Chains A and B, each alone.
Chain A
């Protein structure tokens, strides 16, 4: 029998102080499940970067996490502006974040690259003006 556990979180787009709340909750759950600590850390980092992106760029969105004994999949969906050039966005150091956001210590251009680095699979579906969906998987 293959068992899975589903978690869903709504991420609000206008509250920086709450960014990281969803990834923190997921981390606590994974810790209780006894998931390998390295995998927990990878999920935590990737999900936090994704959550921050939802807040900074997309005006909020949704996070769906599915945990099975084999893998953890994360789907981040938003109705934001979309990514104009995915390849460029995946380049370390490239950022479209505003001066305002950078002054808060974000926008270093490491978000998407880090999400790729810390996961086993990553796929981006994006359409300008309509939104973005990011799929990430961490194998256990």
Chain B
């Protein structure tokens, strides 16, 4: 668990030790200690909420630079479906795809095209395995990570199909090897990502051993380089375009389910809403559903923290762009690509567990409840923990003490001062 590589990290110099991130983190993974935020690795699901909310830009995302294009002889760009929606006046996706070639790529493989194949595979999977319904989408890595730490009973509902980005990479590698005759190491597969979660999914994948993606670029970084290149004259070639309406729709909430041709679905977006749906699913409150699409970001991938455009504007742009496209541009045609299903089980990580055994946990919980009783219950965050209860937990775990609470400290100081006056 400790060797797990996260893409979200802290720039300690910029961190002012404020409480914005600790209050927003959906897994209570952050504490401010010694005036700086610390992310508890095993709790972090790379959702990027802390990156979004930090007013000092101290929470950052690790991604590769465009210079890494020089690491390979043949480079393929994999733009996320939400990428097209970042730009103005894009009436045809090929404008964006051609600009990627001008940027230095040798080819592009739209993630949206692979997404259409994943939609087809999902329809088939649900039809072949109806007993496992409702299936939960596995396209948003933060959701899969959240389920892994907090909703173990729902692990069996995860759709065991690789993500559109991973499928695009697999297919792009195959194509490039055939086209160029180069060795695998000379081919660079570059995913252009909307969020940190999808970056972590490349370095530490779940459900598969290894991703075929070699480098991950951030949409916001590629964006500025793209603008002048998109204004250039049309170079003719339109072969690059492979995706249709279904694939493009994956960029926003409700897009994935639109490709499933069923009305028995839920599509929830925003991490708090996702948690609510997962709780209800676990409690058996949601029934008669085929599929549950969950996106950690509000609006879906258009709401990713590495995006440029306002997510609501981006959603409209995707809808407009879809208008004159075919329903789907890519089809499986009866061929199921290799390695398209998960090859590795997702294991429950009981990070919220207090002790090693239920008995030990029970003893700890009683101490925690007793300490929490004594705390003011304001959840002000000044101690560096997101809630009074979290501070009580930290005290029992031995990583904080009662005087970290400024309200208790104040009382304590009052007492000392009145004791001194009595002398």
Contact = CB atoms under 8 A, between A and B. Distances in A.
Contacts of A134: none
A20 B276 CA distance: 12
A33 B150 contact: no
Interface in B334-374: 348, 350, 352-359, 361-363, 365-366
A91 to B, nearest CB: 19
Nearest to A67: B362
B358 A33 contact: yes
A41 interface: yes
A93 interface: no
- Interface core residue of A34, A35, A40, A41 (most chain B CB under 10 Å): A34
Contact of B361 (A34, A38, A40): A34
Interface string A29-52: 101111101101100110010000
Interface in A1-59: 3, 5, 20, 23-24, 27, 29, 31-35, 37-38, 40-41, 44-45, 48
Interface string B276-303: 0001001111000000000000000000
B362 A44 contact: no
A32 B353 contact: yes
B255 interface: no
Given A31-B150, A32-B352, A34-B355, A41 B282 contact: yes
A32 B354 CA distance: 6
Which 4 pairs of residues, A with B, have the shortest CB-CB distance? A34-B353, A37-B152, A41-B153, A33-B361
Nearest to B285: A48
A111 B284 CA distance: 11
Interface of A: 3, 5, 20, 23-24, 27, 29, 31-35, 37-38, 40-41, 44-45, 48, 67, 69, 114, 140
A37 B358 contact: no
B365 A34 contact: no
Contacts of A69: 357-359, 362
Given A31-B352, A34-B353, A37-B153, A45 B358 contact: no
A67 B356 CA distance: 17
A33 B348 contact: no
B354 A33 contact: yes
Given A27-B282, A45-B283, 6 more contacts: A24-B283, A29-B365, A31-B150, A34-B361, A44-B283, A69-B362
Given A23-B283, A33-B365, A48-B285, A40 B153 contact: yes
6 contacts: A20-B285, A31-B352, A32-B361, A33-B361, A34-B355, A34-B356
Interface string B49-70: 0000000000000000000000
A29 to B, nearest CB: 7
A81 B357 CA distance: 42
Nearest to B393: A32
A18 to B, nearest CB: 14
Nearest to A42: B153
Given A29-B365, A32-B365, A33-B353, A44 B358 contact: no
Nearest to A4: B362
Contacts of A40: 153
A34 B363 contact: no
B276 to A, nearest CB: 10
A101 to B, nearest CB: 15
Contact of B357 (A24, A29, A34): A34
A16 B210 CA distance: 47
Most interface-central of A20, A32, A40, A67 (chain B CB within 10 A): A32
Nearest to B150: A31
Contact of B362 (A20, A24, A33): A33
A61 B345 CA distance: 43
A34 B353 CA distance: 5
